[in-house]
Amino acid sequence: MITMNSHSNDIDYSNGYMEPEEEWEREGLLDPAWEKQQKKTFTAWCNSHLRKAGTAIENIEEDFRNGLKLMLLLEVISGETLPKPDRGKMRFHKIANVNKALDFIASKGVKLVSIGAEEIVDGNLKMTLGMIWTIILRFAIQDISVEEMTAKEGLLLWCQRKTAPYKNVNVQNFHLSFKDGLAFCALIHRHRPDLIDYHKLSKDNPLQNLNTAFDVAEKYLDIPRMLDPEDLINTPKPDERAIMTYVSCYYHAFQGAQQAETAANRICKVLKVNQENERLMEEYERLASDLLEWIRRTLPWLQSRQADNSLSGVQKRLEEYRTYRRKHKPPRVEQKAKLETNFNTLQTKLRLSNRPAYMPTEGKMVSDIANAWKGLEQSEKSFEDWLLSEMMRLERLEHLAQKFKAKADTHEDWTRGKEEMLQSSDFRQCKLNDLKALKKKHEAFESDLAAHQDRVEQIAAIAHELNTLEYHDSTSVNIRCQRICDQWDRLGSLTQKRRTDLDDAEKILEKIDILHLEFAKRAAPFNNWLDGTREDLVDMFIVHTVEEIQGLIDAHGQFKATLSDADKEYNSIIGLVKDVESTVQKYQIPGGLQNPYTTLTSSDLSKKWSEVKHLVPQRDTTLQAELRKQQNNEMLRRQFAEKSNQVGPWIERQMDAVTAIGMGLQGSLEDQLHQLKQYEQNVFAYKPHIEELEKIHQAVQEGMIFENRYTQYTMETLRVGWEQLLTSINRNVNEVENQILTRDSKGITQEQLNEFRASFNHFDKNRTGRLAPEEFKSCLVSIGYSIGKDRQGEIDFQRILAVVDPNSTGYVHFDAFLDFMTRESTDTDTAEQVIDSFRILAGDKPYILSDELRRELPPDQAEYCIQRMAPYKGVNAVPGALDYMSFSTALYGESDL
């Protein structure tokens, strides 16, 4: 048996075929059948090489005796020149030549045991066969290597792999496994299916199988017949040395095809990686373009502040915004998460396949999308704030407009006819008493006029506020306000002028009816109080809290407490009228019932007093209805607060848990992935709570509730938190999957991964999942990576940074750190390997042809290469020559491929 010393190229024959004769007998080499098979096979093998020198042998034990053909054989198979042979015919000349041959064999690291030149010169068949077997082992079998196995084991494994798919073939050894000839036929069919129709062969016809294989091998593969079919069939256990020698010729005959197959497989693998990467790049570009275009179309709508300045119009826009948040935005949130996931997966695959990092087209970087998304969210927040503020403003505007109309109507009713009255000259024909009455009446009017000053100022103030808040019908309000103010100025001027006229005539007026005057003085302010009270009782109000409406109820209660005093005043004033009526009736004074100082009558006061007493319980009902509304709003606040105070902390807890898992603190990567998937299921199962909160929030907005002191959470913060939680889970799932992909493809153990994660987390103090450059440098040093503190050390560190942060973001993420720690020691395909593979397919030419690509590669990958390879421009280029070198280099660099 031949064994290989791991520290030497020498072949050790201490247990080999070249033992003393008794050892040969023990191994059966003296078996006549084996001896016959070896003699035939070894002779044919020698002749397959000697014919290259134009000679051959007929009798193996005779023709090598003088050493000349033996030396020639060694020169042919080694390609080297041996010492010049001795041409004499004496025995010592022959021994000298054989010794030169044996010395050459020994120089190739073969230790010959028990084989001497004398035995060869004497024609010892057993020793001659042993020597030839030694030569076959050294020059035909020793260099065969399959999966680090050598010689016999490697050749056997090669046979097993090549014949594995074939029915009725089971290669376990080099004697019985080849007796029926199917193994030989399978080896030929595997490499040259055009030469043998394997499916027509039968295990029951070994002679035909062997002859078929030997004939085809000799005719088409240039492998001479080295075995006799009848000998193989009739020998219980054929000689394995003879079969190994013959099979080794098959191996060398197909070695070129094997290299081409290996090269084609490597190229297919590389092209498949590039095709998949290109598909991911195209999908990323498509998703990014679609998302950015949607954001571009949506932003103008969110940034628009145009409205019809009406409450209904703003409510319609708020409902449109709710529809956008419920229906239009969620699919885009999922699209953004998918985009980030695809980008991270693509970058991981590029790193693992030794490709440069992917740089999206300008404006479509992940950071560009993140900035656009951030701008979208900012626009959403400002848009919703604007809608709510507009609702508050327009609601107040409607209230102020109604209040302006009510006060203006009351004032205009009061001023009706006042200008004509002030411009009248009636006092000039009055008697003294009538004149005094007119003066007193004018004094009462002045008092009444002063009392109305506050209402005019209120009207002007309300009009000013409507203008400030941009009331949609402010033009008509301004016109009416200006008309009232102009009239008020005229009334003031006319009043002053009439008072002057009355003062001039006062000297002739001596007596005034005290009773009428007293009534006029007391009735006017009481009438004004009645008017003001009526206005207050029907005054519209707007409140937002229970406390505010309770304040109005308390104020109304205080007002009702003053009604008893007002009732006394009313009865006292009516008593004056009754005194006048009594006096007039008693003394029959003509025209005495007419009060010259006021137009007010007791019936006017009675009517207004009755109306006030009727409005009081109505006001009670209105205030209580509003109280119930505010109590319902308070209930909605508490409902929203109770639910949000549950949902908010739950989201925060889930976010903390997902972050902890993402830091690699909880078990193996598979455990982390399982936990993240479980959290993802829990989050989707929790979504009904968010939907329930959205319903409560809608009721809160419809109730015009703008503040909630029972909770710190708003619907907007919870929406953002929910979306961030989903994004964080998706991002962490993607990162863990990429880490598993990295670990499995790089052959990293869980212990190594844990060590890398622990080192990374130690310097990730803020648990952000990334390291700043200085933190990354400290991390490298902590795990034994040598980085000098000199200029060269900084240059080395910057080179590393360019690898782990190719986009210059200023941070190093864990997956890039992990890839850096493993990639340099991992066997990955390179541009040089791909070039070597193409060179094999091209038959060592510096270019390759389309037909060669189509013959060696699958159709889709052959066309992929043909479409992308540039024409070969080198020397001796033929038509259609393609440059596979530049193509291979482009696969590993920035390219449009």
Residue range 344-348: average pLDDT?
Answer: 89
Residue range 32-55: average pLDDT?
Answer: 88
The torsion region of residue 181 among left (phi > 0), alpha (psi -120 to 50) and beta comes to left
Of 57-61, 253-257, 566-570, give the lowest mean pLDDT range.
253-257
The whole-number pLDDT of residue 290 equals: 94
Q: How confident is the model at residue 598 (pLDDT cuts 50, 70, 90)?
A: confident
The whole-number pLDDT of residue 28 equals: 41
CA dist., res. 824 & res. 348, Å (int): 15
Instruction: Name residue 110's beta-bridge partners.
Output: 11
Query: Which of the following CATH numbers is that of domain 417-503: 3.40.50.2020, 3.40.50.11540, 1.20.58.60, 3.40.50.1360?
Result: 1.20.58.60
The whole-number pLDDT of residue 11 equals: 39
Of 403-417, 666-680, 827-841, give the lowest mean pLDDT range.
827-841
* Residue 150 main-chain phi, psi, to 5 deg: -125, 165
Closest CA to 51 of 73, 66, 35: 73
Q: How confident is the model at residue 18 (pLDDT cuts 50, 70, 90)?
A: very low
The whole-number pLDDT of residue 859 equals: 86
CA dist., res. 294 & res. 234, Å (int): 82
The whole-number pLDDT of residue 499 equals: 85
Instruction: Report which of residues 450 and 827 the model is more confident about.
Output: 450
pLDDT greater than 60 at residue 6: no
CA dist., res. 102 & res. 135, Å (int): 10
Chain segment 743-790, per-residue pLDDT in tens: 777 667 777 777 777 788 888 888 788 889 888 888 887 776 777 777
Q: Is residue 489 within 8 Å of residue 419, measured between CB atoms?
A: no
pLDDT greater than 70 at residue 590: no
3-state secondary structure of 689: helix
The whole-number pLDDT of residue 284 equals: 92
The whole-number pLDDT of residue 614 equals: 92
Residue range 668-675: average pLDDT?
Answer: 86
Q: Which CATH architecture has domain 831-892?
A: Orthogonal Bundle (1.10)
Instruction: Report which of residues 33 and 467 the model is more confident about.
Output: 467
Chain segment 272-314, per-residue pLDDT in tens: 888 888 889 999 999 999 999 999 999 998 888 877 777 788 8
Q: Is residue 664 within 8 Å of residue 757, measured between CB atoms?
A: yes
Report whether CATH 1.10.418.10 matches the domain 33-264: yes
Domains of the chain: which residue ranges?
33-264, 270-390, 417-503, 748-824, 831-892
Chain segment 692-719, per-residue pLDDT in tens: 998 998 988 888 887 888 899 998 899 9
Of 16-30, 415-429, 587-601, 860-874, give the lowest mean pLDDT range.
16-30
Q: Is residue 572 within 8 Å of residue 523, measured between CB atoms?
A: no
Instruction: Report which of residues 298 and 395 the model is more confident about.
Output: 298
The whole-number pLDDT of residue 791 equals: 82
Of 111-125, 345-359, 474-488, 783-797, give the lowest mean pLDDT range.
783-797
Chain segment 819-850, per-residue pLDDT in tens: 777 765 555 567 888 888 898 888 888 999 99
Q: Contacts from 891-897 at CB under 8 Å and sequence distance 24+? A: 891/270, 891/274, 891/355, 891/831, 891/834, 892/354, 892/355, 892/356, 892/830, 892/831, 893/356, 894/356, 894/359, 897/274, 897/278, 897/868
Q: Record the pTM.
A: 0.54
pLDDT greater than 50 at residue 80: yes
Residue range 452-464: average pLDDT?
Answer: 90
Q: Is residue 47 within 8 Å of residue 132, measured between CB atoms?
A: no
* Residue 858 main-chain phi, psi, to 5 deg: -60, 155
Closest CA to 287 of 369, 205, 217, 385: 369
Computed over its alpha carbons, how large is the radius of gyration of the chain?
Answer: 55
Secondary structure string (H, E, C) spanning 158-189: HHHHHHCCCCCCCCCCCCHHHCCCHHHHHHHH
Computed over every residue of the chain, the mean pLDDT equals 83
Instruction: Name residue 146's beta-bridge partners.
Output: 149
CA dist., res. 549 & res. 547, Å (int): 6
Going from the C-alpha of 262 to that of each of 693, 792, 835, 857, 891, the distances in angstroms are 62, 42, 13, 11, 19
Closest CA to 841 of 774, 791, 888: 888
Going from the C-alpha of 239 to that of each of 133, 137, 168, 215, the distances in angstroms are 12, 15, 22, 21
Closest CA to 608 of 545, 712, 534: 534
CA dist., res. 800 & res. 890, Å (int): 23
Q: Is residue 742 within 8 Å of residue 748, measured between CB atoms?
A: yes
Q: Is residue 94 within 8 Å of residue 66, measured between CB atoms?
A: yes
* Residue 842 main-chain phi, psi, to 5 deg: -85, 0
The whole-number pLDDT of residue 891 equals: 82
Tokens of 828: 């990955």
pLDDT greater than 50 at residue 511: no
The whole-number pLDDT of residue 610 equals: 92
Instruction: Report which of residues 635 and 505 the model is more confident about.
Output: 635
The whole-number pLDDT of residue 22 equals: 36
Residue range 427-448: average pLDDT?
Answer: 77
Tell me the angle at which helices 240-303 and 366-415 cross, rounded to the nearest 10 degrees: 20
Residue range 517-531: average pLDDT?
Answer: 87
Nearest 10 degrees: Cα torsion 580, 582, 583, 586: 160
pLDDT greater than 70 at residue 588: no
The whole-number pLDDT of residue 428 equals: 65
CATH fold label, 270-390? Methane Monooxygenase Hydroxylase; Chain G, domain 1 (1.20.58)
Same fold, 270-390 and 831-892: no
Please state, for a pLDDT cut of 70, what percent of the chain lies above it.
91
Q: How confident is the model at residue 146 (pLDDT cuts 50, 70, 90)?
A: low
Instruction: Report which of residues 883 and 262 the model is more confident about.
Output: 883
The whole-number pLDDT of residue 89 equals: 84
* CATH number of the 748-824 domain: 1.10.238.10
CA dist., res. 405 & res. 423, Å (int): 28
The whole-number pLDDT of residue 116 equals: 86
Chain segment 718-752, per-residue pLDDT in tens: 999 999 999 989 988 888 888 888 777 766 777 77
